[in-house]
Amino acid sequence: MRQLTWKLILPLTVISFVTVTKWWYVLPIDAPDTLYSGFPFPFVGEGWHTSMSLQIFVLELIADFLVYFIFWVVLIFVFNRFKKEIKPNKFFTKGLWTISGIIVLVAIYIASFKDNHFYIKRPYKIEVLETGFKFYWQQTKRPDYYKYRSERVEK
């Protein structure tokens, strides 16, 4: 199983972590409406001080990564144990490692921008207005805030 962890599970975790996620349209307390990403917890969102900045929440990021990792461990373990023994070939594992390596390098590059803000944990509460799942290549259309504003005024 240790070989499968290094050859399959870790690169599949990185690839799926980036490609399949959930978007969250939220209203933070005393802040503008914001789009966040992450599954099952929102861990990255738009920065408020400049348009190209991000807010990154480290504990939520680690928890999300662990959820994806555990998913792949269970899936590979069950398949390997009860269906058929998995023996990945070198070409396939090198391809997975190349793709996941490129993803990690791009993520490190984006995270190194000086305008990004890193927090151990999100320092404010949020009210979730709308959510949905997306793939990395899909554009998330920002929901209409005024639809939610009228509901909030009536309460």
Q: What pLDDT, in 10s, does the model give residues 46-94? A: 888 887 889 999 999 999 999 999 999 999 888 887 877 777 888 988 9
Spatial separation of the C-alpha atoms in residues 63 and 43, rounded to whole Å: 9
For 96, the token pair is 């997975």
Spatial separation of the C-alpha atoms in residues 77 and 59, rounded to whole Å: 26
Q: Give the pLDDT of residue 4.
A: 65
Residue of 40 and 86 predicted with greater confidence: 40
What's the whole-model pTM score? 0.83
Q: Give the pLDDT of residue 13.
A: 94
Residue of 85 and 109 predicted with greater confidence: 109
Q: How many CB atoms lie within 10 A of CB 2?
A: 6
> What are phi and psi for residue 92, nearest 5 degrees?
-65, -45
